[in-house]
Amino acid sequence: MDNQQVRQILKDIFKRLITSYGPQYWWPAKEPFEIMVGAILTQSVAWGNAEKAITNLKKAQALSPEALRRLDLSEMARLIYPSGYYNAKALKLGSLARWLGEYCGDDMGELSADSTTEIRQQLLSIHGIGPETADSILLYAVGRPIFVIDAYTRRIFGRIGLAMDDNSYAACQALFMDNLATDVGLFNEYHALLVCLGKDVCWKKPRCLKCCLSNICQFNRANSQTIS
């Protein structure tokens, strides 16, 4: 399959998703630091759990880098308990807050002045932040055009038949970034729509009959033939 075909398929998928689900208006937070915190708290849990933890931090007036640095880990863990893995995530949030103070003096404007590559390398150096979380922060908090790859995206595109041979994070990300216009809004909306599809129908045991991509999905075709 050549690049032109891949681009057309990606455009077709986006059109089907936006028609089925409409604009998602992600991320569900407005302040950059709240988005950063949310990217960590939502690791391995649904957003609703992370949102409860963020609400606790707000009520405790602890949703700022400076306030988090003043909290001891046990208190932070107590506040973010709804997010699960609260002790581990408290360590991660503490590391993020310290980094922001050391790297840019908690100034998001100063952080945004650096290149995407530099910010990404810095984020990946923080305890508990891997590629998906770093890219979520870059896209949603810093406004950089970088495509976020998550478990839903891997599953959906693996089933459609567009997964890369090595299925690495970088290879999956390149599939989108090499074949779509470099646009923050597009990457934001596309990722949010894939999450919506993953939550709605593309489960581990998928509900293919309700999927807007079923007639272009290799997994669906193969299973339909088996059933017939």
Count other C-beta atoms under 10 Å from residue 115's C-beta: 9
Please determine, for residue 8, whether its predicted confidence score (pLDDT) is greater than 60.
Answer: yes
Question: For residue 225, what pLDDT is reported?
Answer: 57
Per residue in 135-164, pLDDT (tens digit) is 999 999 999 999 999 999 999 999 999 877
- Integer angstrom CA distances of residue 9 from 47, 109, 135, 170, 186: 29, 37, 24, 20, 15
Question: For residue 2, what pLDDT is reported?
Answer: 85
The confidence band for 28, taking pLDDT boundaries of 50, 70 and 90, is low
Region 15-36: mean pLDDT is: 91
Q: Domain 3-24+148-227 belongs to what topology?
A: Endonuclease Iii, domain 2 (1.10.1670)
Name the residue ranges covered by the structural domains of the chain: 3-24+148-227, 32-141
Region 96-123: mean pLDDT is: 96
Q: Are the folds of 3-24+148-227 and 32-141 the same? A: no
Give the phi and the psi of residue 18 in degrees, each rounded to 5. -70, -35
Question: For residue 15, what pLDDT is reported?
Answer: 98
pTM of the model: 0.93
Count other C-beta atoms under 10 Å from residue 30's C-beta: 7
Q: Domain 32-141 belongs to what topology?
A: Endonuclease III; domain 1 (1.10.340)
Of 62-76, 127-141, 153-167, which range is least confident?
Answer: 153-167
Question: For residue 1, what pLDDT is reported?
Answer: 75
- Integer angstrom CA distances of residue 53 from 16, 71, 95: 34, 15, 17
The confidence band for 228, taking pLDDT boundaries of 50, 70 and 90, is very low
Question: For residue 224, what pLDDT is reported?
Answer: 76
Question: For residue 227, what pLDDT is reported?
Answer: 43
